[in-house]
Chains A and B, each alone.
Chain A
Amino acid sequence: MATIHIVPFVRASVSIFRDMLDLEVRSGETEEEGDSFVSRGFTVIVGFTGGWKGRFFLDMGGETAMHIASSLTGESYSTFAEEEVLLSGAELGNIISGNAITDINNNNPGLNLRLTPPSVFAGEDLSMFNVRLSSCSVLLQTDAGLVKINVAVEEGNK
């Protein structure tokens, strides 16, 4: 399965976790994911079209999401459902995917990837399903918890 799609997103995530959140990524296992995965409770989704069509997912537990929001704003939060926690997730997803897409577009002239606005979902028994998309995940271990990066791309876009 093509891991070329996920590499720029992992690279962007690692540097942004370090620069924006002061979090070092300790390790990253790769797994091939089918067309669906179960969320840890908090997921940021950014879509892309152009030469490649698909979705980028940033998935984590509620505690990790609150930690990230606190790092960005300096405030503390009691639940991941608070608006600023959701917004922080969206901002992180936006910046990671923006950086990744810039990288991809600069290295692949003509590919012209464009991003949709980010969306955030959080809740219990949360799961994601992408019809006809093959995907690849990398699990990042950080001091704030596990964060899964998943990139799902439409078949035929390789």
Chain B
Amino acid sequence: MKGIRADGTPIKVMAVDDSPISRKMIKKALEPVGFLIVGEAGNGKEAVERYPQFQPDIITMDVTMPVMDGLDAASIIKGINPQQKIIMLSAMGDDDIINQAKSRGINDVCCKPFKAEELLEKILKVLEN
């Protein structure tokens, strides 16, 4: 299963999105192939607060969220741990957002709606590097 490493341990994912439905869809895409969703957050502030306890291999981060958006949360998390891998998910795919994501150190962008295959391939590619 693609979400399980050679040593048998699952890849740990933290899902950050203000839509509980979106978080369910991410779980539905990743859990059947072995990924482990270790934690969730509903906005950027929660993501920053919960991140240390979950220690994910990778974070899926929505952009537009209340309280604190995904771009700001990513900047803060990268500040705490520059090695942390983050994939941004967004329904707004314009160049401006993509450039902003890159400037915050976000490793890749996946547009919504995402196909399960596309998301997991992007996750695996980011973790390889």
A contacts, CB < 8 Å to B = 16, 19-20, 69, 72-74, 84, 87-88, 90-91, 94-95, 97-99, 101-102, 105-106
Say yes or no for B113: interface residue by CB 8 A criterion.
yes
Instruction: Pick from B52-60, B70-78, B87-95 the stretch touching chain A.
Output: B87-95
List B residues 86-123 near A (Cβ within 8 Å). 90-95, 111-113, 115
> How many contacts A-B (CB < 8 Å)?
47
Shortest distance from the beta carbon of B112 to any chain A beta carbon, whole Å: 5
Say yes or no for B79: interface residue by CB 8 A criterion.
no
Give B6-47 as 1s and 0s: 1 = Cβ < 8 Å from A's Cβ atoms.
000000000000011110110010000000000000000000
Shortest distance from the beta carbon of A110 to any chain B beta carbon, whole Å: 13
Q: Which residue of A lies closest to B25 (CB)?
A: A72
Q: Which residue of B lies closest to A94 (CB)?
A: B91
Note all chain A residues with C-beta closer than 8 A to B112: 95, 98-99
B contacts, CB < 8 Å to A = 19-22, 24-25, 28, 90-95, 111-113, 115
Note all chain A residues with C-beta closer than 8 A to B95: 106
Shortest distance from the beta carbon of A97 to any chain B beta carbon, whole Å: 8
Contact, CB under 8 Å: A91 / B94: no
